[in-house]
């Protein structure tokens, strides 16, 4: 149980275009989801926290106009990378916190974004 499904698993896009990444909680309601970014051989860096029905909270240094987060329902959060550039190429992972499981975290399978 407590599965987060993330799509797509990989995407290649042209510079200047936008890409949407979806995360769905399959068997539970995720009132809060977290979006991370991971560079090669680096650990995960929190980008933003999204709460269902309200605006996302972004970490310092993360451009909210570039990384649009929508959490319109209790089972779906999306991250849209707008006007993507090669430096946005990275591995993006979403996560949900499980209140009824001791506040453990469950993660999606990640999305490899390559901007050419």
Residues in touch with another protein (CB under 8 A) = 6, 34, 42-44, 46, 91, 93, 95, 99, 101-110, 112
Q: Which is nearer to another protein, 82 or 110 (CB)?
A: 110
Minimum separation from the CB atom of position 3 to another protein (A): 11
**CB nearer another protein, residue 59 or residue 83:** 59
Q: How far is the CB of 30 from another protein (least distance, A)?
A: 14
Q: Identify whether the C-beta of residue 82 lies closer than 8 Å to the C-beta of residue 21.
A: no
Residue among 54 and 103 whose Cβ is closer to another protein: 103
Closest CA to 5 of 19, 18, 20, 22: 22
Give the Cα separation of 33 and 105 in Å (integer): 10
The minimum distance between CB 101 and another protein, in angstroms, equals: 7
Of 29 and 83, nearer to another protein (C-beta) is 29
Nearest-CA neighbor of 73 among 57, 100, 54, 93?
54
Query: Three-state DSSP class for 75?
Result: coil
The least CB distance from residue 96 to another protein, in Å, is 11
Say which DSSP state 46 is in: E
């Amino acid at each position: 149980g407590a599965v987060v499904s993330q799509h797509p698993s990989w995407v290649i896009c042209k510079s200047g275009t936008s890409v949407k990444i979806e995360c769905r909680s399959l068997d539970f309601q995720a009132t809060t989801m977290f979006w991370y970014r991971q560079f090669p051989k680096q650990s995960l860096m929190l980008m933003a926290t999204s709460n269902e029905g309200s605006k996302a909270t972004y970490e310092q240094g993360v451009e909210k106009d570039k990384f649009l987060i929508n959490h319109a329902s209790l089972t779906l959060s999306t991250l849209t990378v707008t006007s993507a550039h090669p430096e946005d190429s990275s591995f993006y992972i979403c996560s949900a916190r499980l209140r009824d499981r001791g506040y453990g975290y469950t993660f999606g399978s990640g999305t490899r974004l390559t901007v050419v």
